[in-house]
Amino acid sequence: MAINKDILEVKIYYEDTDCGGVVYYANYLKYFERARTEFLEKRGVFLKELMDRGVYFVVVSAEVKYHSPGRFADTLIVESTVEEIGYASIIFRHRVRRKQTSELIVSGNVKIASVSGSMRPVRIPEEVLKVLQPGCVT
């Protein structure tokens, strides 16, 4: 069940595209990453602060489905929701739409894990869990 939703606008520059003016496929993973970071920061969770305490979030799996090409000069909307929260993991669902038409461009899921500096799983900090509850945006 999805909880909390957030959106991020991404303007597509020439550097984001291949020689045909189509968004290079791997860039969508970058947009997903930006969207997750913004999602957390809007809720008062700053990854740098967690890193300073020895807690890191790493991607453990990603699934991406390409529906339609994004193109140079498009503005894309990346919609992010938290789908599942575990002891040491969070699954985010991302949907990318063209702002101008709402056409679905890309969809995917990314599972991140909370780990220590030695890359061992650790419990997601309580303050992170608290802000991921439904309706929490600070």
Of 124, 116, 44, nearest to 89 by C-alpha is: 124
Residue 35 structure tokens: 């969207």
Closest CA to 77 of 53, 49, 98, 104: 98
| Active-site position among 6, 18, 52, 74 | 18
Is 16 labeled as catalytic in the residue annotation? no
Residues linked to residue 78 through DSSP beta bridges, in sequence order: 8, 96
Of 14, 124, 28, 115, give the one whose Cα is nearest residue 73. Answer: 14
Polymer length of the chain: 138
In one-letter notation, the amino acid at residue 20 is: G
Known catalytic residues are 18
